[in-house]
Amino acid sequence: MKKINQDDPISSNVTVEGGAKAAVLPSRGRMISATAWMTIILSSMYGIMYLDRVNISIAAKDMMKEFALTNTQLGFAFSAFSWPYLIGQLFGGWFANKIGSRLTLALCGLLVAVSTIATGFVTGLVSLFIMRLLLGIGEGPSFSAATQAMRHWYPEERFGFIQGITHSAARLGGAVAPPIVAWLIGVGSWRLSFWICGLASLLWVVIWLRYFRDDPKDHPGITEMELSKLKPPSKAVRRARTPFGALAKRILPVTAVDFCYGWMLWVFISWIPLYFMKKHGLNLKSSALLAGLTFGAGVIGDTIGGTLSDWMLVKTGNKRLARNAFIAFSLAVSGAFLYATMQTSNITHVALLLGGSFFFLELVVGTIWAIPMDISREYAGLAGGMMNFGFGLAGIISPVVFGFVVDRTGSWDIPFTISVVICVIGALLTVFMRPDRPFIPPHAVGE
């Protein structure tokens, strides 16, 4: 393998292991490292995919009017995304192991772009449902495949950080979606908003293929110092039999907690804009603004949650404290803030309390996504997909149940109360998670 002279500009061709030529980017100097660029590109993916995921909640009112949809029908359309997303969680990490994260995420991004653009051409509930299904197929494998990529590009003491910062970008996508989509609806139509979001996804695919390498050492811009902190990917994993059953058993408690977290998150990203409009009588712009501020609180929570958990891990060396206890506390406080919103009708207080609830909820995400990386290096992506199966399952059930209860009772407090109870259950279930015990595949026992 040819070593790269970091003091010289990057040459136009670099020979990597096996004699292959790597496409080389122009030298950027030392101000931004290869790992930092990777963080930016991965974060961009999370942000764009959440923008494509939540834009429908802002366009929902116009869609309901144009297609004469009920809340239950709209909830059905919301849930369409989660059916393939649920299954895709399991295959993202597996595909990343077999064909690499680079190709897996490029294919996912392309499908997300196509389905988002096509949503701008739907003519009713059926075509809307189909496009949301396709979007779920594209996004389903993405985060678990990205987790596998992170496992090779970041050292163990940065797992919480990278999961937190990328998911904070996801929430930033959710935070900017309401004002951006509302503005696009104002200057054009709800259809225009989907076309623009889809084009952003296409642009990301081009950048990803240009920059990312499955093995960091094959990247022409990475330094020896960066590589010294990383463990090389195991090529034996691609040849070994995948231990689905044994790994699923280890991850099951984390999956259950992720279901509870996901229930709450789907309440926020699916229903909060309509909640402001229908319960509190706000117009589209005001609802979009308050929804954006609520999601903005989640961006802060995502950013500091994983980092704080990593700090606790470094200080104490106790993964159950840094991961389990931290998640339990965050879920419990999030539920308490959501409960408090039902005790006031003051819109300022409601907005602040919802922001607080979402902030504490999002402290969870970077931490819980770090747990599959704690448990398994070789199968981090697959373990992450198994964990996020709970999130996908919540996405199928939560929007439909929420819309059904609102239609039947006319009350927003009842589905909010259900969500509070689920938060408490999630906090209690954290006791069964074991991030402190590394997963040993059955075929590796005795080696």
So where are the chain's domains? 32-218+244-438
DSSP state at residue 8:
S
Orientation angle between helical segments 413-429 and 380-409, nearest 10 degrees: 150
CB 296 within 8 A of CB 354: no
Summarised one tens digit per residue, pLDDT across range 186-230 is 888 888 888 998 999 999 999 999 888 878 887 787 778 877 776
In the predicted structure, residue 307 carries a pLDDT above the cut 90: no
Summarised one tens digit per residue, pLDDT across range 388-442 is 888 888 888 888 888 888 888 888 889 889 999 999 999 999 999 999 888 877 6
Label each residue of 191-250 as H, E or C: HHHHHHHHHHHHHHHHHHHHHCCCCHHHCCCCCHHHHHCCCCCCCHHHHCCCCHHHHHHH
pTM greater than 0.85: no
pLDDT for the residue 281? 67
Summarised one tens digit per residue, pLDDT across range 140-163 is 888 888 888 887 888 877 777 888
Query: What confidence tier does 19 reach under pLDDT thresholds 50, 70, 90?
Result: very low
How buried is 415 (Cβ within 10 angstroms: 0-12 exposed, 13-18 middle, 19+ buried)? buried
Q: Write the CA distances from 51 to 3, 179, 199, 206, 418, integer angstroms.
A: 40, 11, 12, 18, 27
Q: What is the mean pLDDT of residues 258-280?
A: 83
Query: What confidence tier does 64 reach under pLDDT thresholds 50, 70, 90?
Result: confident
The DSSP annotation for 341-365 comes to HTT---HHHHHHHHHHHHHHHHHHH
Cα first-last separation, the chain? 30
CB 87 within 8 A of CB 163: no
In the predicted structure, residue 90 carries a pLDDT above the cut 90: no
R_g of the chain, CA atoms, integer Å: 22
Q: Give the domain 32-218+244-438 fold.
A: Growth Hormone; Chain: A; (1.20.1250)
Q: Write the CA distances from 245 to 67, 241, 242, 258, integer angstroms.
A: 44, 11, 9, 19
pLDDT for the residue 444? 53
Query: What confidence tier does 284 reach under pLDDT thresholds 50, 70, 90?
Result: low
Q: Write the CA distances from 155 to 117, 150, 191, 284, integer angstroms.
A: 37, 9, 43, 44
Query: What confidence tier does 239 reach under pLDDT thresholds 50, 70, 90?
Result: low
Q: What is the mean pLDDT of residues 22-26?
A: 40
Take residue 217 and report the two structure tokens written for it: 């050492």
As a whole-number percent, the residues of the chain with pLDDT over 90 amount to 23
Q: Write the CA distances from 193 to 10, 30, 164, 180, 393, integer angstroms.
A: 40, 38, 28, 8, 27
pLDDT for the residue 420? 94
Query: What confidence tier does 22 reach under pLDDT thresholds 50, 70, 90?
Result: very low
* Cα separation, 89 vs 102, whole angstroms: 17
How many CA atoms does the CB half-sphere of 237 hold within 13 Å? 24
CB 131 within 8 A of CB 272: no
